[in-house]
Chains A and B, each alone.
Chain A
Amino acid sequence: MKYLSEYRDAQLVRAVMDEISRTIHQPWVIMEICGGQTHSIMKYGLEQLLPADVELVHGPGCPVCVTSLEMIDKALAIASLPNVIFTSYGDMLRVPGSSGDLFSVRATGGDVRVVYSSLDAIKIAQENPDKQVVFFAIGFETTAPANAMSVIQAHNLGLENFSLLVSHVRVPPAMHAILGSPSSRVQGFLAAGHVCSVMGFWEYPSIAEKYNVPITITGFEPLDIAQGILLTIRQLENGSHAVENAYARVVTFDGNRPAQKTIRQVFEDCAQAWRGIGMIPLSGWRLKDEFSNYDATNRFQVQSIKPSESQLCIAGQILQGLKKPVNCPAYATQCTPEHPLGATMVSSEGACAAYYRYGRSQ
Chain B
Amino acid sequence: MCLAVPGKIVEIYETNGLLMGKIDFGGVTREVCLSYVPEAKVGDYTIIHVGFALNLIDEQEAMETLALLDEISKQDIEE
Contacts and interface: CB of A to CB of B under 8 A. Distances in A.
Interface of A: 1-4, 6, 11-12, 14-16, 18-19, 34-36, 61-64, 89, 91, 116-120, 138-140, 142-143, 145-146, 149, 153, 156-157, 192, 194-195, 197-198, 220, 223, 227, 246, 248-252, 256, 258-259, 262, 347, 349
Nearest to B51: A117
A16 B72 contact: yes
Interface range on chain B (Cβ under 8 Å from partner): 35 or more
Given A6-B66, A248-B58, A194 B47 contact: yes
Contacts of A119: 18, 33, 51
Contact of A4 (B6, B51, B52, B72): B6
B16 A11 contact: no
Nearest to A221: B6
B57 A3 contact: yes
A6 B70 CA distance: 11
Contacts of A118: 50-51
Contacts of B76: 14-15, 18-19
A149 B52 CA distance: 10
A250 B52 CA distance: 14
Given A11-B73, A153-B16, A249-B57, A256 B8 contact: no
Nearest to B76: A15
A27 B2 CA distance: 30
Given A250-B47, A250-B54, 12 more contacts: A4-B5, A15-B75, A139-B1, A140-B1, A146-B50, A149-B33, A194-B47, A197-B55, A223-B69, A249-B57, A250-B58, A251-B55
B51 A156 contact: no
Contacts of B73: 11-12, 15-16
Contacts of B37: 256
B51 A63 contact: no
Given A11-B73, A146-B49, A197 B4 contact: yes
B47 A197 contact: yes
Contacts of A156: 16-17
Instruction: State the main secondary structure of chain B at its contact with A.
Output: mixed
Instruction: State the main secondary structure of chain A at its contact with B.
Output: helix
Interface in B1-40: 1-6, 8, 16-18, 25-26, 32-33, 35-38
Interface of B: 1-6, 8, 16-18, 25-26, 32-33, 35-38, 45, 47, 49-52, 54-55, 57-59, 61-62, 64-66, 69-70, 72-73, 75-77, 79
Given A1-B26, A12-B73, A149 B4 contact: no
Contact of A258 (B36, B50, B75): B36
Contacts of B17: 156
23 contacts: A3-B57, A4-B5, A15-B76, A16-B72, A19-B75, A63-B1, A116-B50, A117-B33, A117-B52, A118-B50, A138-B1, A143-B1, A143-B49, A145-B52, A146-B52, A149-B18, A149-B33, A153-B18, A197-B54, A223-B69, A249-B65, A256-B36, A258-B35
A232 to B, nearest CB: 15
Which 8 interchain pairs have the tightest Cβ spacing?
A117-B51, A15-B73, A1-B26, A249-B62, A15-B76, A3-B6, A248-B61, A142-B2
B49 A250 contact: no
B3 A36 contact: yes
Contacts of B57: 3, 249-250
Nearest to A22: B79
Given A36-B2, A63-B1, A89-B1, A248 B47 contact: no
B33 A3 contact: no
Contacts of B38: 258
A156 to B, nearest CB: 6
Nearest to B48: A117
A246 B72 CA distance: 15
A259 B36 contact: yes
A195 B69 contact: no
Nearest to A17: B76
B65 A227 contact: yes
